């Protein structure tokens, strides 16, 4: 039993603890251990950033473990440029190793099979058990292949690819485009928003159109959109399509894909007529990654995880922080890699404050910049700034800030590459 202290002794010992804090900078953890343990699950833009910044901002005094099933990070940002053959997958691949070597993150290449938020324990597929003081979940998104009849099988055998997260399918879609005869049809279906990276399907359609215009000019790109209009940078995309591709690219709204036939490469819609293509790129709806759903944390339409935006803690599980595309985003906040990186930093600051039993930052800020190409030689951006508004318990975009490019331009092609390079380094380097 702990010997009872009188009030003065207790206060003196707290005061002495504060002195230690003042002298050593970053300790004074309130977990009853000298080095709190934080486990981060998922090594994408959100999770990798969280792992790195937890180490940086605690001066290495938090033990950080990153669980990620892949040996390397493959960037989905810029991956549309693999589809038109401008880049290879190797250009998008980065090692996790600097997180360990430079920042002291312990990396475990494995999957989490279950976790217990009461016991604060999680189990990995190879049987290891980990305990944590705080858990960061960055599970990303899972495609809902089953939402479109026949797609799961067609995708599994490689006939109809989504290529939404960068990987072998991205190169596979490039191969299908190369093999397509001149005069063929490349059709891409766009799911209902919200989905990951709103401008990406339109950028992909633009880059495919540029490729076909150059190499197979009798061909056609069909954009079959479940939404009533282009979801991001709409007027810029539509003007660019008109100016650059004319009849080579056709946009059709209100096209909700409900089924595919892999044999004839035909896609069926809820209302509109079937479309047959030579390359069929079907983007299914997406939802929070399996781990968050299995844990019952995806409470919004069984798709997205609700968080307290002051700190990104789950509304359902204490000491579990959910960041990145898996969350129910704040209004006007897209699911983007840039924002996932920002969520991570706000969550890390909140985790450190909580471990020190200190108040949260009352006004965290987030920025977002999405670059999109309309051809290999013309890019454009959409930018926004968000501030946390305590009275509304959410992030709101700052009035007067944000906007889009005046028109696509060459400089922003280079800027997009520079942005990606710095983002990769900010999360991994």
8 binds other proteins (CB under 8 A): yes
Q: Which of 422, 345, 335, 365 is nearest to 139 (CA)?
A: 335
**H or E element: which one contains 378?**
strand 378-389
Q: Residue 176 or 354: which CB sits closer to other proteins? A: 354
- CB nearer to other proteins: give 101 or 131: 101
Residues 6+ apart with CB under 8 A from 372: 199, 200, 202, 203, 206, 232, 233, 237, 379, 380, 381, 382, 416
Residue 147 or 360 having the CB closest to other proteins: 360
DSSP string of 310-351? Answer: TTTEESSSTTEEE-STTB-PPTT--B-HHHHHHHHHHHHHHH
Q: With binding defined as CB under 8 A, does residue 423 bind other proteins? A: yes
The continuous run of DSSP H or E covering 237 comes out as helix 234-245
Q: Per-residue x/- mask for other proteins, residues 50 to 69, rule CB under 8 A?
A: --xx--xx------------
- Among candidate residues 269, 87, 264, the one with its CA nearest the CA of residue 174: 87
Among 18, 158, 168, 246, binds other proteins (CB under 8 A): 18
Give CA–CA dist 6/157, Å, rounded.
71
Q: State yes or no: residue 349 binds other proteins (CB under 8 A).
A: yes
21 forms part of the interface with other proteins (CB under 8 A): yes
Rg of the Cα atoms in the chain: 24
Applying CB under 8 A, which part among 165-173, 307-315, 320-328, 408-416 lies near other proteins? 408-416
Question: Site for other proteins (CB under 8 A): which residue of 253, 361, 389, 396?
Answer: 361
> Residues 255, 256, 260, CA angle at the centre, nearest 5°?
105
Minimum CB distance to other proteins, residue 338 (Å): 5
Q: Which of 386, 384, 372 is nearest to 415 (CA)?
A: 372
Rule CB under 8 A: choose which of 192, 377, 401, 410 binds other proteins: 401
For residues 174 and 343, which CB has a smaller minimum distance to other proteins in the complex?
343
Residue 3 within binding range of other proteins, rule CB under 8 A: no
Which spans of this chain sit near other proteins (rule: CB under 8 A)?
Answer: 8, 11-12, 14-19, 21-22, 25-26, 28, 52-53, 56-57, 338, 341-342, 345-346, 348-349, 352-353, 356, 358-359, 361, 364-367, 369, 381, 383-387, 398, 400-406, 411, 414-415, 417-419, 421-423, 425-426, 429
């Amino acid at each position: 039993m702990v010997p009872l202290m009188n009030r003065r002794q207790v206060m003196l010992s707290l005061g002495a603890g504060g002195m230690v804090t003042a002298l050593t900078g970053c300790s004074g953890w309130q977990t009853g251990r000298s080095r709190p343990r934080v486990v981060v699950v998922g090594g994408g833009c959100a999770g990798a950033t969280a792992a790195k910044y937890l180490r940086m901002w605690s001066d290495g005094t938090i033990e950080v473990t990153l669980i990620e099933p892949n040996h390397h990070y493959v960037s989905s940002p810029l991956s549309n440029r693999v589809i038109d053959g401008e880049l290879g997958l190797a250009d998008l691949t980065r090692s996790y190793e600097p997180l360990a070597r430079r920042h002291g993150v312990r990396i475990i290449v494995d999957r989490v099979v279950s976790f217990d938020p009461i016991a604060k324990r999680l189990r990995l597929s190879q049987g290891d058990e980990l305990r944590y003081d705080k858990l960061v979940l960055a599970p990303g998104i899972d495609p809902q292949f089953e939402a479109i009849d026949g797609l799961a099988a067609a995708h599994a055998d490689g006939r109809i690819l989504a290529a939404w997260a960068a990987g072998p399918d991205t190169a596979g879609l490039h191969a299908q485009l190369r093999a397509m005869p001149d005069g063929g049809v490349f059709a891409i279906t766009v799911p209902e928003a919200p989905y990951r990276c709103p401008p990406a399907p339109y950028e992909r359609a633009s880059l495919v159109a540029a490729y076909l215009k150059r190499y197979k000019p009798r061909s056609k790109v069909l954009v079959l959109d479940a939404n009533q209009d282009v979801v991001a940078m709409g007027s810029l995309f539509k003007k660019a399509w008109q100016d650059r591709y004319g009849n080579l690219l056709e946009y059709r709204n209100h096209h909700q894909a409900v089924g595919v036939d892999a044999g004839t490469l035909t896609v069926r819609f809820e209302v509109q007529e079937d479309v047959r293509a030579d390359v069929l790129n079907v983007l299914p709806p997406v939802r929070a990654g399996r781990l968050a759903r299995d844990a019952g944390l995806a409470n919004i339409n069984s798709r997205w995880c609700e968080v307290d935006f002051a700190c990104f803690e789950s509304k359902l599980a204490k000491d579990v922080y959910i960041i990145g595309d898996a969350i129910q985003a704040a209004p006007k906040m897209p699911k983007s890699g840039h924002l996932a990186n920002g969520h991570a930093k706000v969550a890390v600051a909140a985790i450190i404050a909580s471990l020190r039993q200190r108040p949260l930052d009352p006004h965290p800020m987030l920025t977002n910049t999405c670059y999109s190409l309309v051809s290999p030689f013309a890019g454009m951006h959409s930018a926004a700034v968000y501030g946390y508004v305590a009275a509304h318990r959410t992030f709101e975009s700052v009035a007067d800030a944000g906007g889009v490019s005046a028109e696509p331009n060459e400089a922003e092609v280079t800027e997009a590459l520079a942005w990606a390079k710095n983002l990769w380094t900010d999360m991994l380097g």
